[in-house]
Structure 1
Amino acid sequence: MSQSSTPSLYAAREPVFPRRVKGKFRTLKWVIMAITLGIYYLLPWVRWDRGPELPDQAVLVDMAGRRFFFFWIEIWPHEFYFVAGLLIMAGLGLFLFTSALGRVWCGYACPQTVWTDLFILTERWVEGDRNARVRLWNAPWSLNKARLRIIKWTIWLAIGIATGGAWVFYFADAPTLLMNLLTGQAHPVAYMTVATLTATTFLFGGFFREQICIYACPWPRIQSAMMDEETITIGYRDWRGEPRGRGARTPRSGQQPPAFQALERMAAPGTLIAQGAAPVAKGDCVDCMACVNVCPMGIDIRNGQQMECITCGLCIDACDDVMSKLGLPRGLIDYFTLQDEQKERAGGQAKAVWRHILRPRTILYTSMWSAIGVGLLVALFIRADIDISVAPVRNPVYITLSDGTIRNAYDLRLRNKNHEPREFALSYTAHAPLNLHVEGVEGISVTVPADETTQVRLYLDAAAQTEAAEAEHSDVRLWVTDITSGERASAETHFNGVAQDHDQD
């Protein structure tokens, strides 16, 4: 029996060579690329006074101290809910923008898009525009081809090194780490991180490009759940552009009734129809392929909505340029909604943009996003600069001293979020009298270094046959007071008495 060969599930990559284009959306992409790359590369070098114990860096992820610094904001480990809230806000923001404007994140601000634009700019500068790059790709290897490739790859590699280097600067003092990297004194983890990010940037931006968006990124497959017929996205007005082709065009824009124009579009080329036996009008699309040649994903938007489309708007710029040269109305390819497209096809008017954006779905996302943001701001501004956490010692629950005194032990963690050492006084409130003292310290005050957490062992004693000693549990609140500022913080716990063992017996 003969066996038929199984077809491959994978197709070889067709290289994409986007053509240079000018227009408002291309300009917007340049601006966003400059802003995002500028922030990424320069932010670690912004200085901010953090006292003598910490690097004077505005944005710093202190892995050793398990803290995050962002200008005047300092996030401690026990405040991870701030990070969780920001991540939730980022997700809701992505849902909001996608439901309102489609994949604008992918087309304008996604790191893969930004760095790919930078790599394509380098490629165009070294090898020329689209036609020159296509010819070079198809040409056999030569000294000139090898020279251009080496120059291009060298610049790509430098961009990758700068990308990886900028990332590690967020985790240590940037000037110090830079000198350590250059002199070979940095930690091996720093070199490994730079090498990994250099390799991924070089490969993703230079060779994989649109494949990352199509195969590696899950968002194209999720976006369909976020979009509906009122989502503003890029589309082709086929009712206006078809039948496409080159040649003379019948003037439109109201010189004939919509029904007659529709009849013209449906008729076969060369067919004569009524009302003066005029020839059938061709669509506005001249099939110049400009929209395809500028697309960084290499797709044809005229084929309808596609998963690969990142709604970057470059096809709009290219098509509008052609329409302007032909003296035809712009907007053959444009941002619009499927709902408006159906109305326009029937001769109606599109809804105002704000009516598409302000609808129940986007209002819900905006409300949720705003509520979380307000909650985080409130939590940020009402938090104290000192903090206390209490963990009662469980083994043993209490001890009985020689004079019958019942003693409970507690481990206290005192946090000083100020940039200078502070002396904290310890106290308690309870219904029954207790005696408080701190292990290894004379008195009831403890000095906590700047921007640090100190753990101390605290003891509460209840004299024999007193209410606290005889009760099973007595509620206690431990207080810490900043002697300098008078600021206070507290934590609830309880005092265990001998009645606990009597109940067990």
Structure 2
Amino acid sequence: MPDGSAVTPAKIQFFESQKKIHPKAVSGRYRRWKTILTWVLLAVFFIAPWIRWERGPDAPAQAVLFDLTTPRFFIFWIEIWPQEIYYLTGVLIVAALGLFLATALAGRVWCGFTCPQTVWTDLFVWIERAFEGDRAERIRLDKAPWSAKKVLRKTGKHAGWLALSVITGFGFVAFFTDAPRLAVDLLTFNASYEAAGFFALFAGMTYVMAGWTREQMCYYMCPWPRIQTAMLDEHSLVVTYDTLRGDTRGPKRKSQSWDERRTKGFGDCIDCGQCVQVCPVGVDIRTGEQADCINCGLCADACDNIMVSQELPKGLIRFDSLAAQDTRAQGKTYQWRLIRPRTIVYGLLMLVITGAMAWSYALRPRLDIAVQRDRAPLFVTLQDGTIRNAYTFKVSNKTRQDRSYTLAAAGIAGAEVKVVGERDEDSGSAVSHISASPDSVATYRVYVTVPRESVPEASTPVTFQLTDTNNGDRDSYNSVFLGPGSK
């Protein structure tokens, strides 16, 4: 400055403050579908842990239980052991492919209708609306000074949120422990630290994520809005605004006829803003396709209601594809392509992986063995010149009955098997006898003794063979037998 006075730099904001979204209530077909799916999903979530399923004595009677103490995953008649974690991997892969397929067909339809964040946020908004009123009333209440009425309505809303959060926290933990016992333990303050801790964690996160963060979870924490753009193509059904029909848009006076608007170049959109007011993430779909749009269709419901009131055709905002819009803009007829290369690939991969898992589970053995050879000492030379190796032998009995087995070592001539703790009259032969309790892993220490001349090499392959004496089921495990080798 000429007078030498200092210039105060302008304050720069590097982020925009959150603008609270007050979604307006709306009615229509997509709102009905969302409500139906919400109640179905909630019923599955809250009822599934209470369904009983008889598995026999000393077995959990909960139909769906992810027991981390056993550990086992129980889903009705299916029981998954820890070493079968590949089934869980397969389920996650199929779920991911299903999400890819749904996105390729209809954009973020998962986010709009079935995502837990969406479902619980809908419930929290419903509670908020019950205590504070619809959108306009909630906005006025937030701006109004604090009063006894405002405190009462806010307190009621948060009490409802906390009650739903507590029920949700219990619902999550009930999938990992027996639901009736958990309910009693929590009510009598006898729950374990782990159960109480996870219950408080899930309840607290539900309250924060569905009550306070809401769409901010979708904006900043969920990676799917950015990933899903790679799954879309020009034939994917997404919520779109028909610019050819709607623009140029502008408010309509009651005294103004549609012929007058047409002559002035206005389209069917009266710029009422209802589509923005009902959007749970605050998106204006009229500005074009957006990654933040969750494809819930509520804006289409709101717009259809306005079109009916204006005696105009519905569908100004609708589920459509970009290819369809471009084709119609050229005056041609478009037919939606359900079968496309990417949908074929996703569908085939899901079918193959699901079929492979089902086939594998149907043919999986009812017993499984694992053998670990002692590392020290490598071998022991006994007084009679025979060589002995020690092994830790584990057998998994995947049935609900006591099982007895015979154990033999094949591949080495004259091999004798002795189980530590076995009676002397039953040991020192080619076959030993072991047993396993129902649905358990039995561990034994096993000695294998062979003549010196049967192991001329330092390492000789040996195969442990286990046979169920009740039904003949067999399993084997390849290991090695170490000796001094030739001198």
What's the TM-score bracket when you normalise by the shorter of the two chains?
A: over 0.9
Q: Distance in 2 between matches of 1:51 and 1:134?
A: 57
Partner of 1:302: 286
Partner of 1:496: 482
**Higher alpha-carbon deviation: 298-307 or 431-440:** 431-440
Q: How does 1:138-177 map to 2 (within 5 A)?
A: 138-177=143-182
1:403·1:464 contact (CA, 8 Å) conserved in 2?
no
Amino acid in the other structure paired with 1:87: L
Q: Distance in 1 between matches of 2:328 and 2:308?
A: 21
Q: Does 1:459 align with 2:440?
A: no
Displacement of 1:389 in angstroms is: 1.0
Query: Residue deviations 1:197-218, cap 9 Å, x none?
Result: 1111111111111111101111
Displacement of 1:52 in angstroms is: 2.4
Amino acid in the other structure paired with 2:459: H
Q: Say which SS state the counterpart of residue 452 (structure 2) adopts.
A: coil
Q: Does 1:249 align with 2:235?
A: no
1:407·1:462 contact (CA, 8 Å) conserved in 2?
yes
Partner of 2:433: 445
1:249·1:281 contact (CA, 8 Å) conserved in 2?
no
**Higher alpha-carbon deviation: 5-14 or 38-47:** 5-14
Amino acid in the other structure paired with 2:449: D
Amino acid in the other structure paired with 2:322: L
Q: Distance in 1 between matches of 2:59 and 2:7?
A: 74
Displacement of 1:451 in angstroms is: 1.1
Displacement of 1:51 in angstroms is: 2.5
1:249·1:283 contact (CA, 8 Å) conserved in 2?
no
Q: Distance in 1 between matches of 2:452 and 2:282?
A: 85
Query: Residue deviations 1:202-235, cap 9 Å, x none?
Result: 1111111111110111111112222122221111
Q: Does 1:418 align with 2:408?
A: no
Q: Distance in 2 between matches of 1:480 and 1:76?
A: 20
Q: Say which SS state the counterpart of residue 470 (structure 1) adopts.
A: coil
Partner of 2:302: 318
Partner of 2:31: 26
Q: Does 1:117 align with 2:122?
A: yes
Amino acid in the other structure paired with 2:258: R
Displacement of 1:10 in angstroms is: 2.1
Q: Say which SS state the counterpart of residue 7 (structure 1) adopts.
A: coil
Query: Residue deviations 1:463-495, cap 9 Å, x none?
Result: 232xx2323333322121222222111111222
2:52·2:62 contact (CA, 8 Å) conserved in 1?
yes
Q: Distance in 1 between matches of 2:402 and 2:186?
A: 33
RMSD over aligned CA atoms reads 1.7
Could you tell me which of 472, 480, 484 is aligned with 1:486? 472
Query: Residue deviations 1:339-382, cap 9 Å, x none?
Result: 11111122222223xx1x31001111111122111111111111
Q: Which runs of 5+ in 1 are unaligned?
A: 251-268, 271-277
Q: Distance in 2 between matches of 1:474 and 1:432?
A: 11
1:23·1:317 contact (CA, 8 Å) conserved in 2?
yes
Q: Distance in 2 between matches of 1:405 and 1:100?
A: 70
Partner of 2:70: 65
1:51·1:420 contact (CA, 8 Å) conserved in 2?
no
Displacement of 1:300 in angstroms is: 1.1
Q: Does 1:212 align with 2:213?
A: no
Q: Distance in 2 between matches of 1:348 and 1:464?
A: 88
TM-score normalised per structure 1: 0.90
1:412·1:456 contact (CA, 8 Å) conserved in 2?
yes
Partner of 1:107: 112
1:50·1:57 contact (CA, 8 Å) conserved in 2?
no
Could you tell me which of 232, 244, 255 is aligned with 1:239? 244
Partner of 1:387: 368
2:303·2:317 contact (CA, 8 Å) conserved in 1?
yes
Q: Distance in 1 between matches of 2:385 and 2:8?
A: 92
Displacement of 1:420 in angstroms is: 2.4
Partner of 1:40: 45
Identical aligned residues as a percent? 40
Partner of 1:274: none
Query: Residue deviations 1:11-39, cap 9 Å, x none?
Result: 22212111111111111101111111111
1:343·1:349 contact (CA, 8 Å) conserved in 2?
yes
Q: Which runs of 5+ in 2 are unaligned?
A: 1-5, 427-431
TM-score normalised per structure 2: 0.93
Q: Does 1:430 align with 2:402?
A: no
Q: Distance in 2 between matches of 1:282 and 1:132?
A: 32
Amino acid in the other structure paired with 1:153: H
Q: Distance in 2 between matches of 1:318 and 1:482?
A: 67
Query: Residue deviations 1:219-266, cap 9 Å, x none?
Result: 11112222122221111011110111324224xxxxxxxxxxxxxxxx
Q: Distance in 2 between matches of 1:349 and 1:136?
A: 50
Q: Say which SS state the counterpart of residue 196 (structure 1) adopts.
A: helix
Could you tell me which of 399, 417, 421 is aligned with 2:380? 399
Q: Does 1:361 align with 2:332?
A: no
Number of aligned residues: 471
Displacement of 1:280 in angstroms is: 4.1
Displacement of 1:189 in angstroms is: 1.7
1:164·1:194 contact (CA, 8 Å) conserved in 2?
yes
2:409·2:448 contact (CA, 8 Å) conserved in 1?
no
Q: Does 1:475 align with 2:484?
A: no
Amino acid in the other structure paired with 1:452: S
Q: Say which SS state the counterpart of residue 455 (structure 2) adopts.
A: helix
2:466·2:476 contact (CA, 8 Å) conserved in 1?
yes
Partner of 2:3: none
1:127·1:148 contact (CA, 8 Å) conserved in 2?
yes
Q: Say which SS state the counterpart of residue 258 (structure 2) adopts.
A: coil
Q: Does 1:351 align with 2:332?
A: no
